Structure 1
Amino acid sequence: MAQQSLPTDLPRPERLADAFRVYEVDTTPEDGVRYYGEPVTESQQVLRRVAPRFRKRGYRVRLQREMGEHVLVATERSLGVDGVPWTNVALALATLLSTLFAGSRWYGLSVVDDPAAILQAWPFAAAVLGILAVHEFGHYALSRYHEVQASLPYFIPLPLNVIGTLGAVIRMDDNIPDRRALFDIGVAGPLAGLAATIAVTAVGVSLDPIRVTGGVATQIELGYPLLIRGIAAILGEQVVYADPTLIPNPVVIGAWVGAFVTFLNLLPVGQLDGAHITRSLLGDRTATVQTAVPFALFALAGYLVVFESGRAAALWGFWGVLTLLLGRAGTATPLDETPLGPKRQAVGVLTLVLGLLCFVPVPIAITL
Structure 2
Amino acid sequence: MDSTEPLEAGPSLERLRSVFRVYDVRTDGEQLVYYGEPLVPQDQLMKTVWPLFREQGYEVALSTQMGEYVLVAEPVTLGPDGIPWKNVILFLATVLSTLWAGASWYHVNPLTHPVEAMLTAWPFTLAVLGVLGTHELGHYVMSRYHGVDATLPYFIPMPTLIGTMGAVIRMKGQMPDRKALFDIGVSGPLAGLVATVVVTAVGLTMEPVTVTQATLNSANTIEVQFGYPPLLKALASAMGEPLTYDDPAKSVNPVVIGGWVGMFVTFLNLIPVGQLDGGHIVRAIIGERQESVAALVPAVLFGLAAYVFYVLDVSNATVLWVIWGFLSMFFAYVGPATPINDGELDMNRKLLGLFTFVLGLLCFTPTPIEIIP
TM over 0.5: yes
Partner of residue 16, structure 2: 16
Q: Secondary structure at the match of 1:21?
A: strand
Partner of residue 227, structure 1: 231
Query: Structure 1 pair 20/243, CA: closer, same or farther in 2 (3 Å)?
Result: farther
Q: Which amino acid aligns with 1:333?
A: T
Q: Which amino acid aligns with 1:232?
A: A
Give the stretch that moved more between structures: 193-202 or 116-125: 116-125
CA–CA separation in structure 1 for the residues paired with 2:66 and 2:296:
36
Aligned pairs (5 A) from 1:248-327: 248-311=252-315, 312-327=317-332
Conserved 8 A contact 1:270-1:330: yes
CA–CA separation in structure 2 for the residues paired with 1:146 and 1:54:
16
**Identical amino acids, percent of aligned pairs:** 51
Give the stretch that moved more between structures: 61-70 or 250-259: 61-70
Aligned partner (choices 347, 355, 365) of residue 352 of structure 2: 347
Whether 1:362 and 2:362 are equivalent positions in the alignment is: no
Conserved 8 A contact 2:9-2:56: yes
Query: Structure 1 pair 117/67, CA: closer, same or farther in 2 (3 Å)?
Result: farther
Conserved 8 A contact 1:134-1:193: yes
CA–CA separation in structure 2 for the residues paired with 1:316 and 1:153:
26
Conserved 8 A contact 2:6-2:13: no
Number of residue pairs matched?
366
How far the C-alpha of 1:7 sits from its partner, in A, is 4.2
Q: Which amino acid aligns with 1:366?
A: I
Listed as ranges, the gaps of 5+ residues in structure 2 are: none
Q: Secondary structure at the match of 1:82?
A: coil
Q: Which amino acid aligns with 1:95?
A: T
Q: Which amino acid aligns with 1:171?
A: R
Partner of residue 183, structure 1: 182
Aligned pairs (5 A) from 1:74-223: 74-119=73-118, 120-158=120-158, 160-212=159-211, 213-214=215-216, 218-223=222-227
CA–CA separation in structure 2 for the residues paired with 1:234 and 1:306:
34
Q: Secondary structure at the match of 2:155?
A: strand
Give the stretch that moved more between structures: 335-344 or 226-235: 335-344
CA–CA separation in structure 1 for the residues paired with 2:180 and 2:249:
48
CA RMSD of aligned residues (A): 1.9
How far the C-alpha of 1:61 sits from its partner, in A, is 1.2
Listed as ranges, the gaps of 5+ residues in structure 1 are: none
Q: Which amino acid aligns with 2:122?
A: W
Query: Structure 1 pair 355/16, CA: closer, same or farther in 2 (3 Å)?
Result: same
How far the C-alpha of 1:217 sits from its partner, in A, is 7.9
Q: Could you report, residue by residue, the CA deviation over 1:184-230 in whole angstroms, capped at 9, with x for unpaired residues? A: 11111110000000000100111111112359984321111111111
Q: Secondary structure at the match of 2:90?
A: helix
Q: Could you report, residue by residue, the CA deviation over 1:97-153 in whole angstroms, capped at 9, with x for unpaired residues? A: 111111011111101111212311000000000111111111111111112111111
Conserved 8 A contact 2:314-2:370: no
